[in-house]
């Protein structure tokens, strides 16, 4: 999927929008006509995004928010409802890698941080905006996963467990809405030139990887009005949709 959808008049919420893939998704969705609600902790990154979107003639609303502030996530849905009355697109992109360490040596605070940001905060966001997506004529939810959710990779217990949980949560949510107009899918971005990737694989040459903009360009079409897939995983490196384990290596 590479064709950019027409998102004119759409309202899109993107988490983790201050850098990396989330930043580029927000930028590209704004360029396609969407008003982007950009959520992230880093104010500077959000302001830079806002400048770029406005310079290109687009519109954005910045929401500086730490996803560990779960009650703030709960309030966000109400704010969106009051101002816009609905939400057309959710991109649940934000996540943290956490410590890569043996399961038996993992610190409780590190495991809990990964689960809070990657799982609990994503569920709270889904719960907060689900009623608003239902009010859209073509609600679209894109939840960022990873291939490690479907394989046993030593030392990745925290991150892999969080992504496996998110995969099941998203699939169940999709199944619950299978008869309606909403389309709810997962995406595996694959290896991408991001700060998280550099943290995870420090010896890798960044220039050997796709840029965040290149990866985002394959994800944005998942918001298209004519999309029929739901409850699936879109694998960016292979441009394929799948129901089961992701085919690409980490």
Distance CA 10, CA 84 (A): 11
Catalytic residue among 159, 171, 183, 222: 159
- 3-state SS record for 166-185: HHHHHHHHHHHCCCCCCEEE
Residues 63/35, Cβ–Cβ less than 8 Å: no
Known catalytic residue at 23: no
How far apart are alpha carbons 16 and 3 in whole angstroms? 23
Q: How far apart are CA 30 and CA 22, in angstroms?
A: 12
DSSP 34: P
Helix (H) or strand (E) holding 142: strand 140-144
* Cα 198 from chain centre: 19
User: Which of the residues are catalytic?
Assistant: 159
């Amino acid at each position: 999927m590479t064709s950019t959808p027409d998102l004119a008049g759409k309202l899109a919420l993107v988490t983790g929008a201050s850098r990396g893939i989330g930043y580029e998704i927000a930028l590209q969705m704004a360029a396609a006509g969407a008003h982007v609600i950009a959520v992230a902790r880093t104010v500077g990154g959000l302001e830079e995004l806002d400048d770029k979107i406005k310079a290109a003639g687009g519109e954005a609303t910045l929401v500086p928010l730490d996803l560990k502030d779960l009650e703030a996530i709960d309030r966000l849905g109400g704010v969106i409802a009051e101002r816009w009355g609905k939400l057309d697109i959710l991109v649940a992109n934000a996540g943290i890698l956490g410590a890569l360490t043996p399961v038996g040596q993992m610190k409780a605070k590190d495991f809990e941080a990964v689960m809070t940001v990657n799982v609990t905060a994503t569920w709270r966001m889904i719960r907060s905006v689900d009623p608003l997506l239902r009010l859209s004529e073509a609600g679209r939810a894109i939840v960022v996963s990873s291939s490690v959710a479907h394989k046993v990779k030593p030392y990745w217990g925290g991150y892999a467990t969080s992504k496996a949980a998110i995969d099941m949560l998203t699939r169940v949510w999709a199944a619950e809405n299978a008869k309606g107009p909403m389309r709810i899918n997962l995406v595996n971005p694959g290896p991408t030139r991001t700060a998280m990737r550099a943290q995870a694989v420090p010896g890798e040459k960044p220039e050997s990887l796709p840029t965040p903009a290149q990866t985002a360009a394959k994800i944005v079409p998942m918001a298209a009005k004519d999309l029929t897939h739901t409850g699936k995983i879109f694998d960016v490196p292979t441009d394929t949709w799948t129901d089961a384990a992701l085919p690409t290596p980490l």
